[in-house]
Chains A and B, each alone.
Chain A
Amino acid sequence: MRSRKRLSKAEQESETPERLSTSVPELEPGAPTDLELMAGIQAEDPEALSKLYDRYNGIIKALILRVIHNEAEADDLLQEIFMEIWNQAKNFSAQKGKPLGWMVTLARRRAIDGLRKKQAYARAEERLQQETEQQPDAWVHNATEEEIAIGDTRVLIRRVISVLPPAQQQAIELAFFRGMSQREIAANTNTPLGTVKTRLELGLKKIYDGLKELRDEL
């Protein structure tokens, strides 16, 4: 994995989604790659899991929290998810993607399942409704000036996302972080199903294209 590129203020100001060039968490020289850690976990080496946890627990917990909005439940789920990573590591194949993508997919599914199992879905939906009314473009508004001054992966990704119209951001947020089907999004936002489909397709294509230069490093 390549080292993270720190952006100067001038670079940040001139940065456009077409010129993105940064990477995910920086590794110390000689540190094992994600793939090496996954191989270690597949060989049942607890130290490999420990290192993978140290590297990604913050990102995975943030994802869980975004879905379930409950600190204590998020911690419990985080533990369960890393246990599942340990148990399911044999199913990971480097040919089908990178370890982070596999972990995010697993974590997102578990978080959404957890939300539904605990029958907190309705309550979370109410909270979401309130959040949506207050912050229809939460991805954009969650970034403070201080955060924007830090040229890191998160800020650069948010810039890619922030060029989308708020309605497209909202549709993607409901699908990804809430696990809503297109029909559920249509019902929840009082929007025709065809419009929801178009918003999702256009929004995802724009983000995908904007991330093209990041893709090799993500």
Chain B
Amino acid sequence: MNFEQFQNQARLFVIGALDEEEVSEFEKARRKFGQKAEDFITKCYSLSEAFALSLKPAKASDQIKARLMEMVRDRKKA
């Protein structure tokens, strides 16, 4: 796998679209390209962020935050 092919696979990887049999090849290439590969994968996560940011924000129930914070405080006390 050359680096351009790795880049294509990395974009699929970050959105969870690599098939199982492709993952081992991808991981092998990831080790081969080392830090350069890691840097590119990090940049690819902007795709995930962009897909989430492309959606119109949805309003959550007001009770959710209250319940969440109560759980967090209980967890801290425990």
Residues of A within 8 A of B (CB): 24, 44, 46, 49-50, 53-54, 57-63, 65-66, 74-75, 78-79, 82-83, 86-87, 95-98, 100-102, 104-105, 107-109, 112, 139, 142, 147, 153-154, 157-158, 160-161, 172, 175-177, 179-183, 200-201, 204-205, 207-208, 211, 214-215, 218
Q: Which residues of chain B are within 8 angstroms of A105 by Cβ–Cβ distance?
A: 14, 45, 48
Question: Which range contains the number of B residues in contact with the other chain?
Answer: 35 or more
Q: Which residues of chain A are within 8 angstroms of B44 by Cβ–Cβ distance?
A: 208
Picked from A59, A82, A183, the residue with its CB within 8 Å of the CB of B55 is A59
Picked from A53, A74, A108, A157, the residue with its CB within 8 Å of the CB of B58 is A74
Residues of B within 8 A of A (CB): 7-8, 11-12, 14-20, 38, 42-61, 64-65, 67-69, 71-73, 75-76
Q: Contacts A61-B59, A176-B16 hold; do A24 and B53 have CB atoms under 8 A apart? A: yes
Contact between A61 and B57 (Cβ–Cβ < 8 Å)?
yes
Contact between B16 and A154 (Cβ–Cβ < 8 Å)?
no
Picked from B8, B43, B69, B71, the residue with its CB within 8 Å of the CB of A50 is B69
Query: What are 20 inter-chain pairs, A to B, with CB distance below 8 A?
Result: A46-B69, A49-B69, A49-B72, A50-B65, A54-B65, A57-B64, A62-B55, A100-B49, A104-B49, A108-B48, A142-B56, A157-B50, A175-B17, A176-B48, A204-B11, A205-B8, A208-B11, A208-B46, A214-B46, A215-B46
Which applies to chain A's interface (DSSP): helix, strand, loop or mixed?
helix
Q: Contacts A46-B73, A201-B8, A201-B12 hold; do A207 and B47 have CB atoms under 8 A apart? A: yes
Q: Which residues of chain A are within 8 angstroms of B69 by Cβ–Cβ distance?
A: 46, 49-50
Docked complex Cα distance between A54 and B62 (Å) = 11
Q: Which residues of chain B are within 8 angstroms of A79 by Cβ–Cβ distance?
A: 64, 67-68, 71
Most A CB within 10 A of own CB, among B14, B52, B71, B75: B52
